[in-house]
Each structure stands twice: as C-alpha cells, then as structure tokens.
Amino acid sequence: MRVLVVGSGAREHAIAVSLAQDPGVTALACAPGNAGTAAVSEQLGLDVSDNDALVALARSWEADLVVIGPEVPLVNGAADAVRDDGIPCFGPSREAARIEGSKAFAKSVMTAAGVPTASSVVVDTPAHLDTALSVFTPPYVVKDDGLAAGKGVVVSSDVEVARAHALSLLEAGHPALLESFLDGPEVSLFCLVDGSTVVPLLPAQDFKRVGDGGTGPNTGGMGAYCPLPWAGDDLAEDLADRIVRPVAAEMERRGTPFSGLLYAGLALTSNGPAVIEFNCRFGDPETQAVLALLRTPLAQLLHATATGALAEQDPPEWADGAAVTVVVAADGYPATPRLGDVITGAEGDGVLHAGTRRREDGAVVSSGGRVLSVVGTGADLAAARADAYARLEPVRLAGSHHRTDIGLDAERGEVSVPAARA
C-alpha cells in the first residue's frame, strides 16, 4: 500500500513513524512534512490549503491511501476532493468536519444526540456580551467559535479577563462562545469512526497550559500521557457508548456521516462525563503517546476506516505499559515564537519533529511554536515519564521551554474523578 500523509507537525511525524513500521506499507510520503519526517518518508511539496494541488499530487504519486492530519484542510473539504477523484482518504467530509469547524454546530449535534455538554451561548456582537456573561458564574470559559489551533480558549475567574478575550474575538470578526465550566479531570478519547461503527483507542490526557502546575495561557498542548492509571479499563468503551456512538448516529441521521478520527475532549465531572469539544482529526500531542503503544498495523486500521470496512477489523492491540509526550516549545510561544534557531540533539528515537525545517547548510532549525515532541515509554507511567525526560536531555534549542510535570499528578495518584453529587 502506498500511503500519503498530509501535514507537517509532530502528529504527522508520529503517524509516519507508525506507518513506516507497518509491513503492509510499500511506499510512504509526507506532504509537506518536516525535517523529522524526512528520515522515514519521501518528502513532497504541498500547500495543504489547495485541494486541487493535493488531488493532483495524490494522483501523480499513485497513492492508495491519503491520510489528512490537520483540521484546516479537512474543514476546507480536502477529503471530499480526494475521494471524488477515486482515492481512499482517511478524514471526514467538509460537512462532517463542521463538528470541529463550528462549535455552535457541534453543540447542536450534541443536543440532538442527547449528549451532555456545557451550557453555552454564542455572542456575535459586543452589544450582547455583558448580558450573556451575566448568565454565567466563575470560572468563565470563552472560546473562539471557529478553528483556533487549540489557543482560542480563555478560562478565568476574572470576568474582565473573560470579557476582554470575547471582545478580541468579536473585533476579529469571530463569534464568541461562552460556556459553563466543567469540573473534573479531562480525557481525550480518539475513536475511529466509519458511519455507525465506532472503535475507541486508548484514552489519554493532555496539558493545555504553558507552565508547570497548569499556569499561564492555553496552548495547542504541551504534553500528554496514556493510558490513564486513575481510570477503569472500561472507560473507553463506556465513553464511546455514552458520548461518541450517539453523536456518530446523529451525524448519520443528518445525512453527513462521519468517516475518520473523531476526537472527543471530555471532562469527567461529578455529574458524569460531559463534552468539552469535538475535533475531526487526531489530536496533537496525544497522538504521539497513543500511537507509541499501538501494535495493530496502523495502515490496516486507517484504510479500513476510509473504505467502509472498519466493522470487519479485530479490536486494536496495545502494548503493555504507558507512554508520555513532552512538547519542546520555542522562545515566545504561545505568543509570537522566535524562529530560525538551530536545534541539536533531536535525532534520537522518540524525538518527533513539529515546527522544524532543514536549512541549505544541513542544519535543522525551528520553524514553529511547538518545535518537538519527545515520547517515552515504560512499564508504568513513572517509567514512561523518566524515559521521556531522559530522551529530552540531549535536545538543545536556544530559549526553548517545556513542562516538567507531564503526567506527574497521575504518577503520584493525585488525579481522581469527583464524587457524584447527592
């Protein structure tokens, strides 16, 4: 099978590494890829926002399967374009990708499916903002209604901070979504979805705040771990039954069945699980940890999903133990990152590239805010954490920063689901 992976981040590098280990993959390419994916795949130039260029590339390269990583091309209908050309594609249609592209649309799907989520109000004009804010109590949650690369969310107990963020969104022409706050630990659940067939993968937890202890602004994600030692073994199937399968059924009922990876971001609250958000693709940085433990050939699962044969597959098999991802970010991230700095020590196993490129002189330099994802594995979470931070030790990037506490609370047994309210 010839597989073309679309994207340039650590998620795509992780997908490429997993596909490169699949004996069923005879040729592998990434478009546009990065300095790390070049070690495991052919590199092909591509503007991922150009659907016609993607179709032409997939056709000329004779791809048997196209795997689209980022949300932007999916929301722009890239998967439709590839499928319309007769090439199997892993990724939802433009209409189905609205579950990430519009939070208001996602709320309507969840309401129709009877899936619990935070109460919310969409504000599209500053004149209605103060009235809408008065409905909520702190901490206030304000989100960009559209795509924001994980950074369009502010959670604050200060109403003025919440108001300022909402106004900045409205001034940029983006509706603001105000939500009630959901208590309890967060869970990222990836599910392969082929219409009505839903296959959950290992649940993970990611870390959005930039600093240790959950301090500082939200980012695209500073690290993740899986599985969850504080959750039961049946958590993934339970969440699939209660959350994902009803949503998949509602998407089918609307005539826009979902095909690809449906990512449910959840809070395990004292009232039960509730949805924070849905994404229409593999999440970053959770993918890097989840795929590190997958033992079933990845191409087999993705091709089956893309061709409507997921129900015929055996359940995915997983390695024992745990995996931890630690993100190395550039100086200035998540605001304006400094670019072009030389990176050394990033050639080892488990070091996945995200915002990197190779200069003409051969040096690898930073080209984005999240520069690397370093993945460790081990017999348990403590061992996986130790392995990840040991692999990170040789990495050098001027001004870079990373969290030192990814998975630490779980390792210490300090994460738990709130007790049910009486």
Amino acid, res. 282:
F
More confident residue, 392 or 184: 392
> Residue 153's pLDDT band (boundaries 50, 70, 90)?
confident
3-state SS, residue 183: coil
End-to-end CA distance of the chain, in Å? 55
pLDDT value at position 146?
67
| Rounded Cα distance, 293 and 149, in Å | 25
59 φ/ψ angles, rounded to the nearest 5 degrees: -70, -45
Characterize the bridge pairing of strands 176-179 and 205-206.
Answer: unpaired
Contact (CB, 8 A) for 372 and 343: yes
**Residues 6+ away with beta carbon under 8 Å from 57:** 4, 31, 44, 46
Whether 206 is in a domain gets the answer yes
Number of domains in the chain: 4
- 151-182 as b/e: b if 16+ CB within 10 A: bbbbbbeebeebbebbeebbeeebbbbbbbeb
113 domain residue, yes or no: no
Q: Which residues contact 358 (CB under 8 A, 6 or more apart)?
A: 35, 38, 364, 365
Dist. CA 101–CA 94, nearest whole Å? 9
Q: Is residue 300 part of a domain?
A: yes
pLDDT of residue 204: 98
DSSP, collapsed to helix, strand or coil, labels residue 60 as helix
Domain ends where: 251, 278, 312? 312
Predicted local confidence at residue 137, as pLDDT: 83
pLDDT for residue 417: 83
SS3 sequence, 341-366?
Answer: CEEECCCCCCEEECCEEECCCCCEEE
- The pLDDT mean for the chain works out to 94
- 13 HSE (CA, 13 A, CB side): 29
Check: CB of residue 29 under 8 Å from CB of residue 41. Answer: yes
Query: Are 339 and 368 members of one domain?
Result: yes
The pLDDT-based confidence of 63 (bands split at 50, 70, 90) is very high
Structure tokens at 186: 């967060």
Average pLDDT of the segment spanning 276-296:
97
Tell me the percentage of the chain whose pLDDT exceeds 70: 98
pLDDT tens digits, 70-112? 999 999 999 999 999 999 999 999 999 999 998 889 989 999 9
Are 294 and 369 contained in the same domain?
Answer: no
Tell which of 312, 333, 360 closes a domain.
312
CATH of the domain at 255: 3.30.470.20
Is 267 contained in some domain? Answer: yes
- Token couple for 65: 């399967």
- Please tell me the predicted confidence (pLDDT) of residue 245: 98
Pair 52, 150 in one domain: no
Q: Which of these, 157, 98, 150, 96, lies nearest to 305 by C-alpha position?
A: 96
Distance CA 350, CA 191 (A): 24
User: Is residue 114 in some structural domain?
Assistant: no
Residues 149 and 255 in one domain: no
Kindly state whether residue 101 falls inside one of the protein's structural domains.
no
CATH number of the domain where residue 333 is located: 3.90.600.10
Q: Does residue 151 surpass a pLDDT of 60?
A: no
Position 421 scores a pLDDT of 59
CATH at residue 47: 3.40.50.20
- Whether residue 267 is predicted with pLDDT greater than 80 in this model: the reply is yes
Residue type at 264 in one-letter notation = A
Q: What is the CA radius of gyration of the chain?
A: 20
Task: Tell how strand 396-397 and strand 343-344 pair up.
Answer: antiparallel
Q: How far is CA 45 from CA 30, 58, 85, 372, in A?
A: 9, 12, 20, 21
Distance (Å) of CA 146 to CA 152, 168, 416: 9, 14, 31
Residue 183, pLDDT score: 82
Structure tokens at 171: 């001034």
- Asked which of 5-9, 290-294, 360-364, 414-418 is least confident by mean pLDDT, the reply is 414-418
How do residues 126-142 score in pLDDT, each as one tens digit? 888 888 888 888 888 88
CB 200 within 8 A of CB 226: no
Given the DSSP bridges, would you call strands 65-68 and 89-90 parallel, antiparallel or unpaired?
Answer: parallel
Distance separating alpha carbons of residues 327 and 372, to the nearest angstrom = 6
**Together in a domain, 187 and 303:** yes
- Looking up residue 123, the CATH number of its domain turns out to be 3.30.1490.20
- Give the residue from 288, 312, 336 where a domain finishes: 312
Whole-number pLDDT of residue 103 = 82
Is 11 a domain residue?
yes
343-370 pLDDT, tens digit per residue, is: 999 998 999 999 999 999 999 999 999 9
For the ranges 23-27, 148-152, 287-291, the lowest mean pLDDT is seen at 148-152
Same domain? For 248 and 190 the reply is: yes
CB 270, CB 421: distance < 8 Å = yes
Would you say residue 65 has pLDDT above 90? yes
Co-location of 299 and 189 in the same domain? yes
Q: Does one domain contain both 188 and 297?
A: yes
Are 143 and 235 members of one domain?
no
Please check the confidence at residue 203 and state whether its pLDDT lies above 70.
yes
Together in a domain, 234 and 272 = yes
Q: Residue 209 forms beta bridges with which residues?
A: 218
CA separation for the pair 23, 47 (Å, rounded): 29
Domain that holds residue 333: 322-411
pLDDT digits (tens, 9 = 90+) for 305-325: 999 999 999 999 999 999 999
Residue 416 within any structural domain of the chain: no
Q: Residue 419: pLDDT above 80?
A: no
Do 164 and 202 lie in one domain? The reply is no
Mark whether 222 and 124 lie in a shared domain: no
